[in-house]
Structure 1
Amino acid sequence: MSQQKAFLDHVIEGLRQKPKKISSLYFYDTKGSRIFQEIMNMPEYYLPELEKALLIKEAESIAAHFKEEPVTVIELGAGDGSKTRILLESLSVSSRNVTYVPLDIDKDVLEENKQATVKAIPGVQVKIIAGNYFETLSKAAGMEGKKLLLFMGSNLGNFDENRTRDFLKMIYDHLDGGDYFLLAVDLKKDPKKIAKAYDDPHGITAKFNLNLLARMNRELEGDFRLDQFEHYATYNPLSGLAQSFLVSKKRQKVQIAGQFIEFEAGEVIHTENSRKYALPEIKQLLENEGFLINPSDIFEQEGYGLVLAGK
């Protein structure tokens, strides 16, 4: 099945459900990836800076697990790799041979990542693999040697409970004994701070969410009028769940690839979850799938966490 056919089938199925929903995986076409880079640079979107600060603080501790050994670093949803280079720098000092394998849907972003990484750390080999990382992980995980698999950006929070368990099991199954998984997670904190990260005053998160409709227009012959939908985000401090929606401003009918979808006024499309965790919750989720965690490999600073889990 082609990627476009899979996208169309997903959209039609999701928009015929009650409530309507579309996976956040489809945010990331080329334009969506560019807008997300804008989000990463917003002052309200605190996650990248907290993750960067924690990596700077703990990179040597993480790299110590691979001292004098060759290591293959596989990163899911790598993007431009700017924060990962902090860890790669430490690994290049402590390890004998470092290979970096960034996986991402956007080949252009991966090429930029490769060029920047080779320039910054000449001793690191970079092998990019473009595509949906659920499909490309097997190719990367099949490489020889000790592996460190990265899932950064607190992206685990985008999954529902069942998918979280399935994802962690998939990661575990792709690793060999002695390999490691480094997971970054945003932790529960001031609700107002979290809310602003997903509904910023500059309108960038709104533009990101609405681009999902624009993508349907571009790729699926849709006729969404973007000015008839608006971005809406919520955060529940008890569950730790931030959610994003697109809200129909009026009763309307939209065509997608010759099929019609009706919206009531105020009806929503659920587009994203961003769950925040407590560290004991994350530890339990990982251990439930068989991962081994040393308490000294759990790192936290200013409400952001890194967990290094072994197999």
Structure 2
Amino acid sequence: MIEVFKNEVDKGLQADSKTLPSKYFYDKIGDALFVEIMNLPEYYLTRCELDIFQNKTQELIEAFSVSTESYFELIELGAGDGTKTKELLRSLDAQNYNFDYFPIDISSNALNLLEKDLKNELPNLSVQIQEGDYFKVLASLKESKKPKIVLFLGSNIGNMSDDMAADFIYSLGSNLQAGDKLLLGVDLIKARHVVLPAYNDSQGVTERFNLNLLDRINNELGGNFNLNQFKHQPEYDELEGVAKSFIVSTANQTVEINATGKTYNFTEGEKIHTEISRKYNDALIEKIIEKTDFNLETKILDSKAYFADYILRRD
């Protein structure tokens, strides 16, 4: 993992337009900061999807087309702390559905905390934690041939370009069978005054989350980033429906990273692109899935119509 981290950091910081992969936000500190972000007043995304999971739980279950008489596998990509999913798990457990829950995450810390919480809250639930890359884990689960429902929540698909999202969903389909379902949670296109504060909160938690990526490079790769000379900068284009996060150098400076054996030059105002957060509408979702094996079956909205959970069926 460190070798991959090193290579991706080196490649991103040598590019003409510097980038760092958003997946490296999530270490132990990053996990904790993201939990804080999800509870911030400005961060509407979690509350809106939680609204669906709390108040339209039965609608979700009905959209899955599962029976209490037959077994299925409930697989979650990027499970995190499972706040929303627990609402669904409680309802499925209470109604005696026959299933195993497979949370997949690259963070062992997040998985261990989730497993511990679920043992306390839902002791009868079968939890099979899976640490690693989504597709490697899915490929191993594919062998079971059991019906599957895959959850990909939190508008995590929005961290990809549209072409990457289409490839991602196509690859998901290649690991599933006809009739399997995908619940795809996405943030909908909205006005700038609603979206931008979600990535630039008044308490500065999002800034600490973004800059923690530089701290992680310092700690794990022997970098010497001075975090006082970088700042967090979000941007949002409501016509395009894309929010972006950047780390911006506030001075002309040079950074050394021992693991790569290289130095990286930054000019004042130079940006490192760390994250994209795509917002969607029906037309965009249809376009993204048009060359995949999925068809759109159901769309479930939160009470504000800020967020949608799309139920897709694998043909």
TM-score range, shorter chain: over 0.9
In 2, Cα distance between equivalents of 1:201 and 1:144:
48
Residue in 2 that maps onto 1:150:
151
Task: Write the mapping of 1:1-311 to structure 2, written as runs, cut at 5 A.
Answer: 3-64=1-62, 65-68=65-68, 69-94=70-95, 96-257=97-258, 258-294=261-297, 297-301=298-302, 302=304, 303-311=306-314
In 2, Cα distance between equivalents of 1:230 and 1:279:
35
Gap change, CA 1:266 and 1:153, over 3 Å in 2: same
> What is the CA-CA distance between 1:106 and the residue it aligns to?
1.6
Deviates more, 1:52-61 or 1:299-308: 52-61
In 1, Cα distance between equivalents of 2:83 and 2:45:
14
User: Is the 8 Å Cα contact of residues 12 and 19 (structure 2) preserved in structure 1?
Assistant: yes
In 2, Cα distance between equivalents of 1:227 and 1:170:
41
State the superposition RMSD in angstroms.
1.5
In 1, Cα distance between equivalents of 2:299 and 2:281:
12
User: Is the 8 Å Cα contact of residues 286 and 309 (structure 1) preserved in structure 2?
Assistant: no
1:56-83 Cα deviation digits (max 9, x unpaired)? 2332122231122212111011011121
- Taking only the aligned residue pairs, the percentage that are identical comes to 37
> What is the CA-CA distance between 1:30 and the residue it aligns to?
1.6
> What is the CA-CA distance between 1:111 and the residue it aligns to?
1.7
1:165-210 Cα deviation digits (max 9, x unpaired)? 1111111111111210000000011211110000111000000110
User: Is the 8 Å Cα contact of residues 66 and 91 (structure 1) preserved in structure 2?
Assistant: no
In 2, Cα distance between equivalents of 1:253 and 1:222:
11
Q: What is the total number of aligned residue pairs between the two structures? A: 307
In 2, Cα distance between equivalents of 1:96 and 1:304:
27
Q: Secondary structure at the match of 1:66?
A: coil
Deviates more, 1:178-187 or 1:139-148: 139-148
Q: Secondary structure at the match of 2:124?
A: coil
Gap change, CA 1:56 and 1:283, over 3 Å in 2: farther
User: Is the 8 Å Cα contact of residues 42 and 197 (structure 2) preserved in structure 1?
Assistant: yes
> What is the CA-CA distance between 1:267 and the residue it aligns to?
0.6
Deviates more, 1:137-146 or 1:259-268: 137-146
1:3-52 Cα deviation digits (max 9, x unpaired)? 11111111111111111011111111221111111111111111111001
1:120-164 Cα deviation digits (max 9, x unpaired)? 233320000112334333223434421100100100100012211
Amino acid at match of 2:39: N
1:254-290 Cα deviation digits (max 9, x unpaired)? 0012210001111110000001111232133224312
Deviates more, 1:28-37 or 1:282-291: 282-291
Gap change, CA 1:241 and 1:153, over 3 Å in 2: same
Q: Secondary structure at the match of 1:75?
A: strand
In 1, Cα distance between equivalents of 2:301 and 2:87:
17
In 2, Cα distance between equivalents of 1:232 and 1:292:
37
> What is the CA-CA distance between 1:242 and the residue it aligns to?
0.3
In 2, Cα distance between equivalents of 1:140 and 1:33:
26
User: Is the 8 Å Cα contact of residues 252 and 264 (structure 1) preserved in structure 2?
Assistant: yes
User: Is the 8 Å Cα contact of residues 162 and 288 (structure 2) preserved in structure 1?
Assistant: no
> What is the CA-CA distance between 1:95 and the residue it aligns to?
5.6
In 1, Cα distance between equivalents of 2:66 and 2:124:
16
In 1, Cα distance between equivalents of 2:16 and 2:96:
52
Runs of 4+ in 1 over 4 A off after TM superposition: none
Q: Secondary structure at the match of 2:294?
A: coil
In 1, Cα distance between equivalents of 2:39 and 2:199:
13
> What is the CA-CA distance between 1:93 and the residue it aligns to?
4.2
User: Is the 8 Å Cα contact of residues 156 and 164 (structure 1) preserved in structure 2?
Assistant: yes
Alignment TM-score, normalising by the size of structure 2:
0.93
User: Is the 8 Å Cα contact of residues 186 and 277 (structure 1) preserved in structure 2?
Assistant: yes
Q: Secondary structure at the match of 2:210?
A: helix
User: Is the 8 Å Cα contact of residues 101 and 140 (structure 1) preserved in structure 2?
Assistant: no
